[in-house]
Amino acid sequence: MNKFLFVLALSALFFAGCIGTSEEVQEEYCTKEGTSLKMSFTEAKNIAQNSACTQEGPLGTEHWCNEVTGTWWIDMNIEKEGCNPACVINVETGEAEINWMCTGLKE
């Protein structure tokens, strides 16, 4: 009987270890075409949070990678008429700046 309980307990520990792996969050990376350069979204977000971008306003939740330019784009919660700003983080240099993405005013 003791042998059975030992095997049962050992099996429970084994399966408990397997269950945790399904909930792990997979990191997103942005690369630059034609190079081996890449940057994780976590790193890009940290750079953005410590840059001039957040002096203008808070970061949003939407983000995307432009592999042609090798840049992470994180939307920003800034109200400016005719604009849809994003904090742009360069994968190669690690620099961040706001791209206001403004349209011309229509009369």
Q: Which residues pair with 59 in a beta bridge?
A: 76
Q: What is the pTM of this model?
A: 0.75
Whether residue 97 has pLDDT greater than 50:
yes
Task: Say how far apart CA 77 and CA 86 lie, in whole Å.
Answer: 9
Q: Residue 98 corresponds to which tokens in the numbers above?
A: 């706001």
Residue pair 29/40 in contact (Cβ under 8 Å)? The answer is: yes
Q: How far apart are CA 50 and CA 96, in angstroms?
A: 9
pLDDT band at 56 (very low <50, low <70, confident <90, very high): very high
Q: What tens digit of pLDDT does each residue of 11-49 get? A: 444 444 444 444 567 999 999 999 999 999 999 999 999
Q: Which fold has domain 28-107?
A: Nuclear Transport Factor 2; Chain: A, (3.10.450)
Q: What CA–CA distance (Å, rounded) separates 31 from 71?
A: 8
